[in-house]
Amino acid sequence: MDDIILMLIAGIIGLAIGVAGMSAYRESQNRRSLLAEKVEAELPPGSIEVLSIVGRAFVVVDEIDGVVRANPSAYAYGLVRGHTLVHPELVELAHRVRAHGVIEEKQFELSRGPLGQGTIVVHVRVAALGDEFILLLADDRTEITRTEAIRTDFVANVSHELKTPVGAIMLLGEAMDDAAGDEVAIRRFAGRLQKESARLKALVQDIIELSRLQGTNVVVQGKPVDINDVVAEAVDRTKLTADNKNITLSMGLAKEPAMVFGDQELLTTAFKNLIDNAIRYSPEDTAVGVGVRVKDSLVQVSVTDRGPGIPVEEQERIFERFYRVDEARDRQTGGTGLGLSIVKHVVSNHGGEVTVWSQINSGSTFTVRLPELEDAGVPQGKGAEIKGTLSAPGEGGRP
């Protein structure tokens, strides 16, 4: 009997708690609704409609810096969490506008998440909204800022790189004028002049290639391309350079058509740069191998050299514009510092990737992987002949 009474009492208490909880929840919802109606009533007429179409992240804060309105972009940018304006810099800006009534705008680099991982560059414009509220409008400038930094860095690097051969040509011209009666000196200066002129020509050509690359829309202008043909043409264009160092070019094409979708001339330029880079850093009387194969819906091209190799800590940076592992050696070999950058941009624009395997004193292998274009209507058997003696890429412990 006592147990039954205790169960009835517990049930009554549980019911009471449940009813109280529901009442509190409804009261809270009513207060939220009344608060929202009050806020909307106090905001200047039409402001909500205008804010909904401005196309920017916006936050409206009250006199105690509580967030009373914010759109999804403000939350996505990490400016607002719950009903709080996250960053002290924005709160301080709102305080100044509230105190002086003058519109202010400023650009900030702010943390994007609660743990400070990742940043966002935002341009913020702050103004009073009615008598009680402050409006913050924010534009995401992260990508624009990054692009401007790259452009500024590129222009500075180009200016520096152009000064060297141009200055050398001027000095050599003066030296030739001073040594007009010395035939041996004239010949020596003329040889140097030709070398610097060739270097200047190569640099200008690479800059033009980069500009053309950035202006090409592969999706719109592309068409089916057989990488077998592209690689064969790239090898042909580098034969003279290889012959000058007595380097053997070994080429192995895929037995089947290696079809991708893209710009044939850009792809040829990229593979020419990759092969030319291998030749430049290979010792005389060695070999450079170029192989093509199709596997797992990917077209893979590997270029292998027997050069000095690339230190592990440098391998991530070799695709940057104007970056050189050994600047003195690169100038001696005539490199512009743009060849591998062009390779990376072309491959990325075709939806592929380029990687490098390298070991000091053992050479390097650069591997390009591009998505295969299937059912391209190319007759089977094209490119079936294997040329050269290169083993399939990936053999011998290389990627």
Instruction: In whole angstroms, give the CA distance from residue 208 to residue 340.
Output: 15
Instruction: Specify the pLDDT at position 16.
Output: 54
Q: Where are the alpha helices (DSSP H) in 79-141?
A: 88-100
Confidence check: pLDDT of 387 > 50: no
Q: Are 85 and 67 in contact (CB under 8 A)?
A: yes
Query: Can you tell me whether residue 210 is helix, strand or coil?
Result: helix
Q: Are residues 174 and 236 in the same domain?
A: no
Number of domains in the chain: 3
- The reported pTM is 0.50
Rg (CA), the chain: 33
Tracing tokens 């850093």 back to the chain, one arrives at: 281
Q: Are residues 136 and 163 in the same domain?
A: no
Q: Of 28-32, 55-59, 112-116, 147-151, which one has max mean pLDDT?
A: 55-59
- Could you please report the per-residue DSSP string of 125-145? EEEEETTTEEEEEEEE-HHHH
Pick the last residue of a domain from 106, 140, 174.
Answer: 140
Q: Are residues 247 and 294 in the same domain?
A: yes
Q: For residue 147, what are its two tokens?
A: 């692009």
Pick the last residue of a domain from 199, 215, 231.
Answer: 215
For the stretch 147-169, pLDDT in tens is 676 666 666 666 666 776 788 88
Counting residues of the chain whose pLDDT is more than 90, the rounded percentage is 24
Rounded to an integer, the average pLDDT of 22-31 is 50
Domain assignment present for 14: no
Q: Are residues 242 and 270 in the same domain?
A: yes
In terms of pLDDT, which residue wins out, 289 or 382? Answer: 289
For the stretch 215-245, pLDDT in tens is 555 555 678 999 999 999 999 999 998 998 9
Query: Can you tell me whether residue 328 is helix, strand or coil?
Result: helix
Q: How is residue 66 annotated by DSSP? A: B
Q: Are residues 377 and 364 in the same domain?
A: yes
Q: Are residues 91 and 238 in the same domain?
A: no
**Alpha carbon 390 to its chain's center:** 33
Which of 43-47, 95-99, 107-111, 249-253 is least confident?
43-47
Pick the last residue of a domain from 91, 113, 140.
Answer: 140
CATH of the domain at 310: 3.30.565.10
Instruction: In whole angstroms, give the CA distance from residue 365 to residue 369.
Output: 13
Contacts of residue 273, Cβ cutoff 8 Å, sequence gap at least 6: 339, 340, 342, 343
Q: Are residues 289 and 344 in the same domain?
A: yes
pLDDT-derived band of residue 111, with 50, 70 and 90 as boundaries?
Answer: confident
Q: Are residues 81 and 160 in the same domain?
A: no
| Domain region containing 209 | 148-215
Q: Are residues 240 and 387 in the same domain?
A: yes
Domain assignment present for 346: yes
Domain assignment present for 26: no
Find the distance separating the first CA and the last CA of the chain, reported in whole Å: 81
Domain assignment present for 285: yes
Q: Are 137 and 54 in contact (CB under 8 A)?
A: yes
Counting residues of the chain whose pLDDT is more than 70, the rounded percentage is 67
